[in-house]
Amino acid sequence: MVNTNPLLVALGSSVIHAATTKLRGNSGIQWGKCDIETQGLPVECARLPVPLDYSNGSSAETLDLALIRYPAQNGPSQGTILLNFGGPGQDGLNNMISYAPIQGPWDPRGTGQTLRFACFEPEAAGLVLANELPDESPEVRQRVWDQAGYIAGNCTERLGETGDLVGMAFTARDMFRIVDALGEDGKLRYWGISGGTTLGATAAALFPDRIDKVILDGVMNSHQYYHSIGETEALISSDDTLVGFIRACFDNPKKCPLTAVANSSDDALKAIVGAFEELKTEPLLIPAENADPVPITYSIANSLTLSTLYRPNSYQFLASILTAVIQKDTDALVAAFSGLGSPSAIPQQAQAIMGIRCGDKIPREDKLSDIEVVEQQFHETSKYFPGFGAGYYLYACAQWSFKAKERYEGDFRVKTSSPLLFIGNTYDPITPLASARNMSAGFEGSVVLHHDGFGHTSIAQRSNCTNEAIAKYFADGTLPKKGTVCAPNQPLFANDEEIVATK
Ligand SMILES: *[C@@H]1O[C@H](CO)[C@@H](O)[C@H](O)[C@H]1NC(C)=O
Ligand SMILES: *[C@@H]1O[C@H](CO)[C@@H](O)[C@H](O)[C@H]1NC(C)=O
Ligand SMILES: *[C@@H]1O[C@H](CO)[C@@H](O)[C@H](O)[C@H]1NC(C)=O
Ligand SMILES: *[C@@H]1O[C@H](CO)[C@@H](O)[C@H](O)[C@H]1NC(C)=O
């Protein structure tokens, strides 16, 4: 819990206004009731019209941003903090409801209710892009490439008019419209996680003189976001995270289901990797009531593993799943996978991620053979997860046909009016500490806080030390000393239940 008494504003967005709507400028914001489920939280909502197209100064067309705020709970507000939940493409309003007590978010362009980026029906039959990894087999690789091409085509067809209005640079400009409308000191206070770190870095690079306090937590390499077809650095700590998770499991053997299938963490790693390899040719068939068995393929097991490494709270669940996969215990897997349903659709959120990310990316490749070099780089970066994200980022973005109307094309060497705080975890499977260091190097005076924990962003594994550093920075701008390392409150598996019986 951060105790700085901030007022948190999350952005949501909505529909495109009629062309006749005149921009009201700094007219303030009328806060009122929210029309989404707020679970009893003391949040308030508002709409703020912003220019639809910042690159067309003569157009009066506007877009209504949907805002949500969580008022200061521990005393008078010391200024509003804007939040972004990452992705890019995460829905702000609804995320705000789940994070509000600890943080507080908003719906940027392309997501939630704002200029929602959707090019095909979620239930579009046979689209397996989000569920297949190209390293499963050459056939899968070709299929993922072809589907990514369809999707890029469908998105152009359906979003030809508005698709290029979505992207980090316009969203950064939207944030400063909010800052203006708040009528405070005209400076940005912002907390961005994951994809929200590229938004924060872009905002700070575009408006360096308007920065008050900006925290970027779970940092992406924004150079690669704009300039590389494949964002390889994202996976630079993924293997270490898997290994670290297995070691932590064996450090608490009574709570570690993997002890049933291996005598040491090294053996467990070998068994997991071996089981993944076997799944490439022989998927496990999970019995389903009144339906065909559900195959657990390499792609499903591998991507479930990496995405569960985001959340230390689920590490014991992950250890049980991996144990059952190694034992080929399909009964044990039934329960675990029953909630997953049959994978066949790309969630809307993934469409927004593609729309924002692909439009922002500068390079393109139109043949599968042209991206072999990048695929090789992924294999060199991560032995265990070389295909993660390749499907709908790499393959779709390579074939994407429109580009954001405005992109930040600079080098992120910036002197901001106040220094930024970066936070990176030792074992973050997707936004590594290395990227926090990389981005901090360009922002004069900024500091990297090293959160010595697991999972995606510092929120994943609580640390009073990290929380205090965040609170102090937001309260009076004090940065932690260079080289500060914060330990989590509790080691992994500490609070998990002991395994009562194993096979
Ligand atoms: C859109 O997707 C469908 C398959 O879902 C495909 O048949 C069609 O050719 C695609 N359209 C474009 C323009 O790519
Ligand atoms: C663990 O070691 C014991 C004794 O060497 C051996 O009998 C057993 O098979 C090993 N278990 C596994 C899962 O490798
Ligand atoms: C940051 O990452 C980019 C892209 O990988 C690289 O070109 C650049 O040299 C890195 N900068 C630093 C300071 O490490
Ligand atoms: C973290 O802070 C909470 C609340 O102030 C406190 O109860 C807890 O003991 C602290 N934990 C550690 C490990 O310092």
What pLDDT, on the 0 to 100 scale, is given for residue 44? 84
- Ligand found nearest the CA of 381: 3
Mean pLDDT over residues 278-284, rounded?
96
Q: Do 354 and 110 form a contact (C-beta atoms < 8 A)?
A: no
CA-nearest residue for atom 14, ligand 2, is 262
**pLDDT > 60? residue 387:** yes
Residue from 261, 263, 265 whose mutation best tests the ligand 2 pocket (most atoms within 8 A of CB): 263
DSSP letter at 491 equals -
Measure the CA angle with vertex 354, ends 18 and 344; round to 5°.
110
- What residue spans of 340-423 are helical by DSSP H? 348-360, 372-381, 396-398
Residue from 227, 231, 438, 446 whose mutation best tests the ligand 3 pocket (most atoms within 8 A of CB): 438
Q: Which of 94-103, 130-139, 398-407 has the lowest mean pLDDT?
A: 94-103
**pLDDT > 80? residue 114:** no
Mean pLDDT in the chain? 82
**pLDDT > 90? residue 26:** no
Q: What pTM does this model have?
A: 0.88
What pLDDT, on the 0 to 100 scale, is given for residue 93? 54
What pLDDT, on the 0 to 100 scale, is given for residue 370? 85
Q: Do 164 and 51 form a contact (C-beta atoms < 8 A)?
A: no
Higher-pLDDT residue of 110 and 463 is 463
Q: How many CB atoms lie within 10 A of CB 149?
A: 17
154 lines ligand 1 (CB under 6 A): yes
What pLDDT, on the 0 to 100 scale, is given for residue 349? 58
How sure is the predictor about 102, in pLDDT bands with cuts at 50, 70 and 90? Answer: very low
Residue 234 has which token pair?
Answer: 């994202």
**Dist. CA 295 → ligand 4 center (Å):** 44
**Dist. CA 255 → ligand 2 center (Å):** 18
**pLDDT > 60? residue 486:** yes
What pLDDT, on the 0 to 100 scale, is given for residue 261? 97
**pLDDT > 50? residue 410:** yes
Residue 456 has which token pair?
Answer: 């995606």
What pLDDT, on the 0 to 100 scale, is given for residue 338? 61
- Ligand found nearest the CA of 128: 1
Residue 289 has which token pair?
Answer: 């009531």
Give ligand 4 pocket residues (Cβ under 6 A).
Answer: 464, 489
**Dist. CA 196 → ligand 2 center (Å):** 46
What pLDDT, on the 0 to 100 scale, is given for residue 366? 81
- Ligand found nearest the CA of 503: 2
Mean pLDDT over residues 178-187, rounded?
91
What the chain holds in terms of domains, given with CATH numbers, is: 7-116+167-229+410-486 (3.40.50.1820)
The CA-based diameter of the chain, rounded to the nearest angstrom, is 70
Q: How far apart are CA 355 and CA 165, in angstroms?
A: 10
Q: How far apart are CA 301 and CA 65, in angstroms?
A: 38
- Ligand found nearest the CA of 262: 2
Q: How far apart are CA 205 and CA 494, in angstroms?
A: 41
Q: How far apart are CA 236 and CA 448, in angstroms?
A: 18
**pLDDT > 80? residue 345:** no
